Each structure stands twice: as structure tokens, then as C-alpha cells.
Structure 1
Amino acid sequence: MKKIFFSVSMILTFIVSHAQKDFQGMAVYESKTSTSDFKAQMSGNRDITPEMQKTIEERMKKMFEKTFILNFDKQASIYKEEEKLDAPGQGGGMRMMASMMGGGGTYYKNVKDKSYAVDKEFMGKEFLIKDSLTTYKWKMEGETRQIGGYTCYKATAVIPASKTDFRNFRPKKEEDKKADEKKAAEAKAADGKAKTTSFFDELDMPKEITITAWYTMDIPVNQGPEGYWGLPGLILEVNDGKTIILCSKIVLNPKDRVEIKAPNNGKVISQKDYDETIIKKMEEFRSMNQGQGGRGGMQMRMSR
């Protein structure tokens, strides 16, 4: 009798482990970043005509509204922007900013060894960022809601704002602008030279942002969009106060399976070194832009 029980247990263990190994899912996410504050800023700029504003808003919409696909299993996932043809005129600075909007290449997460890899292209050079996953200090809020028929639970976390993610930039507050203008006037009075300004002088970066996530234990995988993870179920929505990433479709064990593996193209670099490289190049771009009276500065390329 013991032998029979042992055999049945072995069979059940094999079936469960085999099912977990073969399990795979696919989730579609719609990412949308609010542009209302930038629109308000443009409306108050006399140098921007209504036609220019309309063109800028159309391009911003394409940059700030994206669709991503997450393919996942029990251990790893790949998150990638849905492929679309580039619209005419999406070059120069617009393409540069688009590369800082959460897209770019394949984002691979392995929650078992707590690592990630993502390939990104910035100003003509390919990078392969490899690093450890961010440890989120999630706070369970106890609230629930329905998303696409799934019961979801709320969790929040406070994280440092990434300086290389353009979505984290906010237009400066009026009091900060006035303080900058006062400093510029004092500097001009001291040396007689007026300070040149650029687009980046109008922006501010918060030190921290609060993340609100909604996850479902109906799909018990430690995964989510972008670099989000660490909850006892698939994350279906993330909101940082400016960008919302919402799951619009889920397919479990799809017929067309995807190979979930890390990208391997580009210069290998840590997240810290990548951020420092991007910040340095952005400062160079800012200086060039100021030196040309707010025009140009788009021809800069990464040295290889």
C-alpha cells in the first residue's frame, strides 16, 4: 500500500512540475503618459503657433501612447513594444526622446535569480544593460477592484525617479521659474551676459515617485510590465501619477509559444553606468542647444 501511495505521489509531483515548467502566458499592456502639463506650457508660449502646437501634440501622442507585449512563465518574462512603422518626420530630437519613453528593445526579467537585461539604442549606439532587479518595498493597501474580470489587489511603493526616463520630467512650477529668472538676472548684472536657455531649463525632475500597482492572484506569477515585479500575482496596472500602464488582454498557455530568453546585442553596461552615460550626453546636447540659441544640437552622435 505504501509503494502504491509513493508511486501516485511521484506521478502527481511530476505532473505539477511539468505543468509549471510548460506554463506560459501573454499579456498586452497599453501605456499612456499624461501630456496636459506640457500642453498648458505650450499654450503660454507665444513662439509656438497653433499649427506648430498641433504637430507637436500629434508627435507627443505617438511617443506617450504605446502598446507592449509581455510574454511570461513562472521564472522569466520578456516585455517588448508592439512593432509599428515609424511615421515620416520622426527623426532628430523626437526620436531621441522616444528612446527615453520606456520603449526600446526587449526587457528581460528573471525573477528566480533577480536579474534583468534590456537592449537599448541611444543616438546611434546599442547598449545591453545587465543588472539586478529593483527591490520594491511594496505596501499592501487592502483595496480591491476588477480589471478585465480579474480580482486585483492594491499595493504601493516609493522609488527614486529615474533621471534617464523622460516620462519622469515635469514642467517647473511658477515659483521655481521665477527663482531661476532671478538668478539669471543677477548673473547678467554681474558679468553683463544674458544666460541662454533651452527646453530642458523648463523641466524639473522629482526625487521620488509613488507607484500604485494592481495585481491578481488568479495568475500567481511574480511578473509585471517593464521592470515591475515582486507581488504574489501578475501586475495588471501600474500608475506613477503621470504614466499609466494597463493590461488590456491576457492569454494563458497560448498556442503560439514564444522563446523567453535574454537579449544579447549591444555593449554590456550596468544600469548606473548607462544612466551616467545618458546624463552626460544630455548635458552635452543641452550645452550645444544653448550655444545655438535653442536651435540645432541634433547632429550629435555617440562615440564608438
Structure 2
Amino acid sequence: MKSILFKYISLALVLTFFSPEAKEFQGKAIYYSKSKLELGRWGARMSEAQKKQIKARLKNRLEKEYVLVFNKEASFFKEEEKIDAISGATDSWGKNFSQGDLYKNIKKNQLVQSQEFYGKKFLVKDNLQKIAWKIEKESKKIGQYLCFKATAAIPTKELTWYNFSWSDLRKSETKKDSITKEGKKMIEGMTFVEAWYTPQIPVSNGPGEYWGLPGLILEVSAGDRVMLCSKVIINPKEKIEIEIPEKGEEITKSAYQKTIREKMVEMRNNRGRRRR
């Protein structure tokens, strides 16, 4: 029954989507993300009070708010900047390794992302990350929208190319299978992604780098991070402009990651020399 209903909804929305009246179709979605605080072996030595204090200090990095504006072909995704409740300032250090403003064009297979690393601006231009989604049978409602589940395994480095990890320098990726606590089969070097999309909003887009499903992605879980849509506005009164980042040195994703790794290693080595 669900599959018949899904096919009916999809067909009706596709016809609406491509009708002459749908040319100006556009929308805005608000997302909230939460990440788990993983303290590893250091956490075992800390008291609950110390863990709570660290979590409070890292709140701006663990909990974020984003805005996605979209039309039938493209989208612009941006983090809403927050003031730290403790310091009264923005998280300048975190900006060096967080995702910048992101423009995706589905029709042109184009990604344009602005990144800033220690005051230097970069304009990352590349193809969209290909995602081999598997459509699952489960469905649920998120707000007023009927959503369907899809899963995929994506190379972790493709989801974190704007970030930096010392551990990546100390070990090479292997291809061993492992079982997570949730019982999901994983491949080392890959991230399991679970997404929920709604055909009721017929755009093949979503938050961050996620796209490629027959409907807007309203929820996505990847690694220790969950991103959930809290509000959607379809065809607002004021026309939405899809921005394309323009400032910065043009570079590809792989070249950008190589640049920041080299810079971080250089900084580490310089600190080591000063201590001698």
C-alpha cells in the first residue's frame, strides 16, 4: 500500500513540478545540527563536572543552525553565526575547519564553496560528490511532510575535506569491514549516511553536500552528527536570490585539503623548533 501511495504522490508532484506554473518554484529551509562530544581515552579520566564544562564551552561547535535556500536547479547553504555565551565572541578557531557557504547546482553538477583558513580566503570549485543512495522501505512524518528513508556509504574524506585531523596523518585508510554499536556494517574510511527526504518538496537537494534524492532531504545522520529541518517555507512572498560565492583563491577540494594539511604540519614543526 505504501509503495502504491508513494508512486501516486511522486507522479502527481513531478507533473506539478514541471508545469508552466512551477517555473518560479523556490523555498527556504532551516536546519539544526547536533554532534556528539567524543572525548576518547581522555574522557575516562574526567569527572562528569569536567565533561559538562567542556561541553558548555564547545556548545557553538556541537550545536549549529543553518539556512538552505533553493529552487529547482540550485541551492545556497549557510551557517547562522552565533555568539559564544561564555566568551561573548564568535568561534574564530572553529571557522578554520568548518564548512563555509556552499552553492550547489544540480543541473551543472557544480559545487562552489567559500573557505577561510587563518585569514586567507579560498574559493573551492569542484563537481558535486556522487552519492549512491539506496532507497529503503521505511517512511515517517517530519512535521507535515511524509518522508522516505535512503542510505548510503560515502568516503569520509569527501565529507570532511574542509576539516583537519592529526590522526589522518598517522594512519593510512584500510578496507576492513566492522560492525558499529547499532549493528550496521561499515567499511573503514567510509561514513554511513541515513537520510529522510520528502517527494512533497520535489527538488533533488538537501543540506550541506547532500543531494540526489527525489525530494528535499529534511533529516540526515552521518557519523556523530544529526541534521534536522525545523521549518520550510515554499514560494515565499519575497523572491529568493541563490547566491554564488565569488571571493577567494580558486582551488579544488583535494588541493585545498593538501594546502591546509601542509600548513598545519608546518605550524607544528615550527612549534617544535621553538621548544628546543
The TM-score bracket by the shorter chain reads: 0.7 to 0.9
Q: Which runs of 5+ in 1 are unaligned?
A: 1-12, 171-175, 177-205, 294-304
Three-state SS of the structure 2 residue aligned to 1:223 is coil
The corresponding residue for 1:114 is: 109
CA RMSD across the alignment? 3.1
Residues 97, 166 of structure 1: 8 Å contact kept: no
Residues 117, 129 of structure 1: 8 Å contact kept: yes
Residues 95, 116 of structure 2: 8 Å contact kept: no
1:43, distance to aligned residue in structure 2 (A):
3.6
Three-state SS of the structure 2 residue aligned to 1:136 is coil
The corresponding residue for 1:16 is: 19
1:258, distance to aligned residue in structure 2 (A):
2.2
How is 1:253-292 mapped onto 2 (pairs within 5 angstroms)? Answer: 253-288=235-270
1:159 to 146, 154, 157: 154
Q: Decide which structure has greater strand share.
A: 2
1:165, distance to aligned residue in structure 2 (A):
4.9
CA shift in 2, pair 1:43/1:137, >3 Å: closer
Q: Deviations over 1:67-87 (max 9, x none)?
A: 000000001110011133466
Three-state SS of the structure 2 residue aligned to 1:22 is coil
The corresponding residue for 1:97 is: 94
Q: Deviations over 1:261-282 (max 9, x none)?
A: 3110111111111111112122
Are residues 1:62 and 2:60 paired?
yes
The CA distance in 1 between the partners of 2:70 and 2:124, in whole Å, is: 20
Residues 167, 243 of structure 1: 8 Å contact kept: no
CA shift in 2, pair 1:72/1:230, >3 Å: same
Q: Among all aligned residue pairs of Structure 1 and Structure 2, give the percentage whose two residues are the same amino acid.
A: 41
The CA distance in 1 between the partners of 2:24 and 2:199, in whole Å, is: 19
1:259, distance to aligned residue in structure 2 (A):
0.8
The CA distance in 1 between the partners of 2:164 and 2:41, in whole Å, is: 16
- Rg larger for: 1
Q: Deviations over 1:186-240 (max 9, x none)?
A: xxxxxxxxxxxxxxxxxxxx51111111100011101100011000000001101
The corresponding residue for 2:118 is: 123
Q: How many residues align?
A: 239
The CA distance in 2 between the partners of 1:126 and 1:246, in whole Å, is: 29
The corresponding residue for 1:74 is: 72
Runs of 4+ in 1 over 6 A off after TM superposition: 167-170
